[in-house]
């Protein structure tokens, strides 16, 4: 998708209803830093067919997600209005994605904090700085959405990458996984 295609997308000419969130939240400056032929955009309701789940599966277990399951989850996230999944697409295929979740709080004068989750770049696309562009985009959106901080949890070996993205180690994450019957 070219820059003009992205402009058309942000003007609603590519069916804004099919987007998880408004394309107006996509930074033209960050888009311009992608390699030629790559487009940064919101997740679309038809991205199941573009390999979104396949790319996400390189990060963690996705399970057997069908297209109707994908569409149902997409519709829920869109209705809630606090989920912002960003994709990088080339040749009609999703090659990278990341999630921003906005948490509404009572702290900081009823402020909002942003959570970065599920950052993944297809293993055939690594080395093109796509991960850095995803994080830049999520930081940009966090500011545009009025968040007062961004939280990101990662494994020890990913700390150097996130430090390159101007994130810093702070506090400690605690986790308890709950068994879920499928």
The per-residue pLDDT for range 121-150, each reduced to its tens digit, is 999 999 999 999 999 999 999 999 999 999
pLDDT in tens, 22-39: 999 999 999 999 999 999
Task: Average the pLDDT over each of 3-7, 44-48, 147-151 and give the range with the smallest value.
Answer: 3-7
- Nearest Cα neighbor of 59 from 133, 131, 112, 150 is 131
Sheet (strand 112-121) strand order: 38-42, 83-90, 93-104, 112-121, 149-152
- Of the chain, the percentage scoring pLDDT greater than 90 comes to 80
Q: What whole-number distance in Å separates Cα of residue 100 and Cα of residue 103?
A: 10
Name, in order, each residue with C-beta under 8 angstroms of 172's C-beta and a sequence gap of 6 or more.
none
Average pLDDT over residues 42-68: 96
| pLDDT for residue 99 is more than 50 | yes
| pLDDT for residue 95 is more than 70 | yes
């Amino acid at each position: 998708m070219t820059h003009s295609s992205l402009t058309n997308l942000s003007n609603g000419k590519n069916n804004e209803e099919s987007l998880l969130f408004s394309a107006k939240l996509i930074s033209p400056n960050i888009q311009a830093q992608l390699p030629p032929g790559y487009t940064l955009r919101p997740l679309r309701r038809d991205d199941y067919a573009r390999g979104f789940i396949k790319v996400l599966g390189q990060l963690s277990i996705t399970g057997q997600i069908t297209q109707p399951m994908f569409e149902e989850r997409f519709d829920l996230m869109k209705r809630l209005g606090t989920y912002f999944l960003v994709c990088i697409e080339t040749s009609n295929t999703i090659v990278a994605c990341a999630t921003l979740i906005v948490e509404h709080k009572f702290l900081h004068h009823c402020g909002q904090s942003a959570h970065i989750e599920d950052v993944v770049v297809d293993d055939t696309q690594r080395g093109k700085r796509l991960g850095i562009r995803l994080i830049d985009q999520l930081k940009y959106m966090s500011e545009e959405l009025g968040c007062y901080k961004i939280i990101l949890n990662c494994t020890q070996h990913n700390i150097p990458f996130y430090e390159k993205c101007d994130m810093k180690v702070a506090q400690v994450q605690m986790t308890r996984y709950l068994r879920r019957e499928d």
